[in-house]
Structure 1
Amino acid sequence: MKSYLAAAVQMKSKPHLIHNLGEAEDLIQLAVNQGAELVTLPENFSYLGDEASKMTQAQEIAEQSEKFLKTMAQRFRITLLGGGFPVPAGENKVCNTALLISPEGQELARYNKVHLFDVDLPDGNTYTESSTVQAGNSLPQLCRTPQLGNIGLSVCYDVRFPELYRHLSKQGADILCIPAAFTAYTGKDHWQTLIQARAIENTAYVVAPAQTGKHYGMRYSHGHAMIVDPWGTILDDVGVHPGVAIAEISPIRLKQVRQQMPCLQHRVF
């Protein structure tokens, strides 16, 4: 593993596939121009609209999203994460799928979100992800890359389930990716705390691309895409507007923190 720059992209995706892919391309270009070799896109990067419209277009969204990720990774010679898009799964449902692509345009890892967001919030919004999404049936497997380190995938609501990240850290994760479309209501209180907690308890980098602002109707996202180091220090935070967080992933820093706080070696259970 070498030192390199990672990017966490922040988008304001809409119910318009082509528009979103154009915005994603611009932000990938911005990250590459700053030297990023690992670029991560948020959950719902290619489409963020109501469930009925999503399901009607699911096949096209899936095909165009995967084609886009492979094309961009090859064009810019980067490792690229699409943090979550619908992939038809039969029985009128889709999987919420994160896909990691190599600079050669090859699939490195695929993960279907296992924890689904079925929540009634005090702000009047109700989310029932399970109405259209089929939960994944297996924990994510670590993607081991010689240059960029060991990368673990997850998606949004997974961040509230620390056992998933402990599973990844036990496999040797150096970087935990947490692409999200975190709601504005919960994000203001929980997003930063959860991201830092996952970094600290696993002494790993966390790269967390995010959605921000108003998407449609009453759907608002919190923003604050960020990159956090293994000590829990926020290295970069985009804020509330679309943009890119950039930070160095350093194997020296990773080793230093794990020597100073060897909690992964002290696990009892």
Structure 2
Amino acid sequence: MTVMSIAGLQLTLPANQNNFTAIASQVRNVKKRFPHVTMVVLSELATFGPAPRYAETLPGETESRYAQLAKETQLWLVNGSLFERAEDRVYNTTSVLSPEGDVVARYRKMFPFLPYEEGISAGTQPCVFNIPGAGNIGLSICYDMWFPETIRALCWEGAEVIVHPTLTNTVDRDTELSIARSNAAVNQCYMVDINAASPMGVGRSIIAGPGGEVIHQSVSEHDVIVFDVDFDYVRQVRERGWQGLGQPLKSFRDHVISYPQYVEGARSVALDALGPLRKPQKLA
């Protein structure tokens, strides 16, 4: 059996200040209390909050501090995300640090929360990395999962677990719980959706299994979510179907169809009629 234990940290952290010291203390506590844990996952933008003025080039000072923390604790560490400054652009970027202190992956959020996440550029590349002796992990950030193509692309590239840092403090969190479960079910993967607790977020982190089943769902307060990922179970579900039922990844693989929306240069009359992407205006 190939089992890996993950801890998702739904932390109570203030925005607009450097939270690294508080986060590091929580990570060390996890290592001390749960020595079997292999990976720790933070929420989106946990370190500084949603403030692009804290953007750093990568590699940079904060990422290096996370690398040192990963090496100290001998954990795989997903730092939620940081704002990354690259030339004249800013990206929302997740870094993955190995127990040796190496940066093994960086992922730029492909769907910034427009029109609200202003001034943030979109990444273009899905990101999947391997945990030796365990399995493949895909990275996704917050609004990405509202676009089913993003999770399907990760699973197409072999992801068995989707690590999904989130920062949501709005009324649509309930909808996001259903999206996380749906993505898990239709892609036969684990969804590890870790949100921030108040004041930055509304909590309600969710861990869903490859049948869409809820493994854990947090409430709004501080929560340390320790759970097991069973890679053999994912592979069995993908081969036989969840409870011996649907095998959607095989059907997707085998069903040869050219979807009209993905033809190069395609436009939708219906979607073009929706008008520009902008903040809602006051109703007349």
The interval holding the TM-score normalised by the smaller chain is: 0.7 to 0.9
Higher relative contact order (CA 8 A, sep 6+): 1
Query: Between Structure 1 and Structure 2, how many residues are aligned?
Result: 247
Rounded to whole Å, the distance in 2 between the matches of 1:23 and 1:62 is 22
Report the TM-score when normalising by structure 1: 0.85
What do the CA deviations read for 1:34-56 (whole angstroms, capped 9, x no partner)?
2310111110110115x4xx41x
Q: Which 4+ residue blocks in structure 1 deviate beyond 6 angstroms?
A: none
Contact 2:184–2:191 (Cα < 8 Å) also in 1: yes
Q: 1:251 to 1:17 in 2, by over 3 A?
A: same
Contact 1:181–1:211 (Cα < 8 Å) also in 2: yes
RMSD value over aligned CA atoms? 2.1
2:167 alignment partner in structure 1: 181
Rounded to whole Å, the distance in 2 between the matches of 1:95 and 1:45 is 15
2:27 alignment partner in structure 1: 28
Contact 2:57–2:84 (Cα < 8 Å) also in 1: no
Rounded to whole Å, the distance in 1 between the matches of 2:221 and 2:59 is 26
Aligned to 1:59, the other structure's residue is in SS state coil
2:180 alignment partner in structure 1: 195
1:44 alignment partner in structure 2: 45
Q: Structure 1: any 5+ residue segments left out of the alignment?
A: 120-127, 216-220
1:163 alignment partner in structure 2: 149
Q: 2:76 aligns with which of 57, 63, 79?
A: 79
Shift of 1:62: 7.7
Aligned to 1:178, the other structure's residue is in SS state strand
Aligned to 1:176, the other structure's residue is in SS state strand
Aligned to 1:7, the other structure's residue is in SS state strand
Aligned to 1:185, the other structure's residue is in SS state coil
Q: 1:67 aligns with which of 47, 59, 64?
A: 64
Of the structure 1 ranges 63-72 and 105-114, higher mean CA displacement relative to structure 2 is found in: 63-72
Q: 1:31 to 1:208 in 2, by over 3 A?
A: farther
> Are 1:250 and 2:237 an aligned pair?
no
Identity of counterpart residues, as a percentage? 25
Answer 1 or 2: which has greater strand percent: 1
Aligned to 1:48, the other structure's residue is in SS state coil
Shift of 1:16: 4.7
What do the CA deviations read for 1:133-172 (whole angstroms, capped 9, x no partner)?
1211x22131122223101001100010110111111111
Q: Structure 2: any 5+ residue segments left out of the alignment?
A: 258-284
Report the TM-score when normalising by structure 2: 0.80
How does 1:203-242 map onto structure 2 within 5 Å?
203-215=188-200, 221-242=201-222
